[in-house]
Amino acid sequence: MNSKQLHVACIMDGNGRWARKRGLPRTAGHTAGEESLADIVRAASKREVSYLTVFGFSTENWVRPRAEVRHILGLHKKLFGRISELNENNVRVNWIGRPFDEPGSRTPLYVQRAIRKAIEDTKQNSGMVLTVAFDYGSRSELTRAAKMLVASNSELTPANLQNFLYDASLPPVDVLVRTSGESRISNFLLWQINAAKIYFTERPWPDFDAVDLDAAIALTKN
Ligand code: IPE
Ligand code: IPE
Ligand code: MG
């Protein structure tokens, strides 16, 4: 077995289409997607994945209908509230996105609290790091990093720019997954996917399972 510790990143797409196919409201698709994520976190934590980074909500997603946005925010509160499950799986929670105290940040206070609490209550775990990208956009991340680099008067090098990313300790992505038949990157981890393999699947996120995860991981072996 290859013991390399992997970074898997997922653009969790297709919740709405999954629901529509079943005659359900889009919100039901997001609920199913959150459950699928909980399953994938468990499965990944039992494999050679040391970092799992998922796109929960983008800087572009705020324009969606208010009721849908509210539902998705509630699901993030639920996700970050799964503390005992995360602790059972030795998973440490992490978050990337527009910093709460900076202009432009849109994360409401109750989601901020849930994020802070999940990070605090899982910080002792030594297993997989689950990074949730919420109010995240790669262009915002890179623009901010460039501004900070200029302000620091450091030399403009890739290593110095990397230091100013939301989480400079995130390793490069080994495989990027996008579900539901779209082959777009949608402003996700543009810097970190530099050398990543890409796994596209037709399956919508609520149906993504451990078999798909293994297929994505297998891409990193060749
Ligand atoms: C992904 O599913 C979830 C988020 C972007 C928050 P979508 O809601 O984009 O589902 P589709 O693409 O409309 O099917
Ligand atoms: C990307 O999915 C964002 C998340 C998965 C959170 P979208 O469904 O928002 O992406 P586009 O707009 O189709 O590219
Ligand atoms: Mg979509």
**Å from CA of 189 to ligand 2 middle:** 13
User: Taking residues 73-98, what's their average pLDDT?
Assistant: 98
- How far, in Å, CA of 56 to CA of 131, rounded? 10
At which residue do the structure tokens 């503390």 appear? 83
In three-state secondary structure terms, 9 is strand
Q: Which atom of ligand 2 is nearest to the CA of 61?
A: 9
- How far, in Å, CA of 16 to CA of 9, rounded? 20
pLDDT tens digits along 179-189: 999 999 999 99
- How far, in Å, CA of 50 to CA of 92, rounded? 10
Q: Respond yes or no: is residue 39 known to be catalytic.
A: no
User: Taking residues 54-72, what's their average pLDDT?
Assistant: 98
Q: Is 205 in the pocket of ligand 2 (CB under 6 A)?
A: no
Q: Which atom of ligand 2 is nearest to the CA of 16?
A: 8
- How far, in Å, CA of 189 to CA of 161, rounded? 14
Q: What percent of the chain has pLDDT over 70?
A: 98
Q: Tell me: pLDDT of 103 over 80.
A: yes
**Å from CA of 153 to ligand 2 middle:** 35
Give Cα 187 distance to the centre of its chain: 12
- How far, in Å, CA of 16 to CA of 28, rounded? 8
**Å from CA of 119 to ligand 3 middle:** 27
Q: Respond yes or no: is residue 61 known to be catalytic.
A: yes
pTM: 0.97
Ligand 1 binding pocket, CB closer than 6 Å: 12-17, 57, 61, 72, 180
Q: Which of 71, 178, 180, 205 to probe ligand 1 with, by most ligand atoms within 8 A of CB?
A: 180
